[in-house]
Amino acid sequence: MKPFILASQSPRRKQLLEQVNLSFSIEASQVEEVIRNESTPEDIVISLARQKAEDVFFRNKNSVVLGSDTIVVIDGEVLGKPENEAMARHMLQRLSGRTHHVYTGVYMISEEQAEGFFVRSEVEFYTLTNEEIDTYIATGDPFDKAGSYGIQGVGAILVKKINGDFFAIMGLPIAKVVRALKKFHINVDHS
């Protein structure tokens, strides 16, 4: 079996792969995330995931490499990771009391094959007060997450309802990933 590499420093993606007993190593991609002229959120997340996976794969040709990216979209606008408190506040105010979409793209590559896919989920937020937003920002949780929140941590209290894949919202649609990895002869260790 070829070595399996996660091209990400995301602690959430690492945690999800560990939860299903996959044997893997981590090598963060060095590419600067560039959103090219893709017209749809689906194309954006698959392209970003592909850039990350290919960057690591070119240094590890005898491996299977997985790249992933997550974006939040509201009113047709992509919300990435906030650079500062003001950006985080603005994003959370936009999401407050509204429904938005979370897109997670996955791209896997080996010498023999490559496969990319995305998962789209819908998230509805409670209406948030400025105090709730400021309290959440003070936790530091928003700053490494698309849309300024993490559904799996303290950010869970912001979420009224989801329609879709919780784990994709968290950063990796793990069930779909495990199924796709079988095509690359990477299997879950059940021992």
Q: What is the CATH number of the domain that holds 72?
A: 3.90.950.10
Instruction: Name the phi and psi angles at 86, rounded to 5.
Output: -65, -40
CA dihedral 157, 162, 166, 168 (to 10 degrees): -110
**Domain membership flag for residue 13:** yes
pLDDT at 187: 84
> For all residues of the chain together, what is the average pLDDT?
93
Q: Give buried/exposed letters for 83-106 (b at 16+ CB in 10 A, else e).
A: eeeebbbebbebbbeeebbbbbbb
pLDDT at 38: 65
**Domain membership flag for residue 38:** yes
**Domain membership flag for residue 188:** no
**Domain membership flag for residue 187:** no
**Domain membership flag for residue 106:** yes
User: What is the average pLDDT across 12-38?
Assistant: 87
pLDDT at 36: 66
- Which structural domain, as residue segments, surrounds residue 127? 4-182
Q: What is the Cα 140 distance to its own chain's centre? A: 18
pLDDT at 144: 86
User: For the chain, how big is the Rg over CA atoms in Å?
Assistant: 17
User: What is the average pLDDT across 164-172?
Assistant: 96
**Domain membership flag for residue 191:** no
Report residue 11's pLDDT band, with 50, 70 and 90 as the boundaries. Answer: very high
**Domain membership flag for residue 168:** yes
Neighbour-count burial of 37, counting CB atoms closer than 10 A to its CB (0-12 exposed, 13-18 middle, 19+ buried): exposed
User: What is the average pLDDT across 25-30?
Assistant: 94
Q: How many domains would you assign to the chain?
A: 1
Catalytic residues: 69
**Domain membership flag for residue 130:** yes
Structure pTM?
0.93
pLDDT at 31: 86
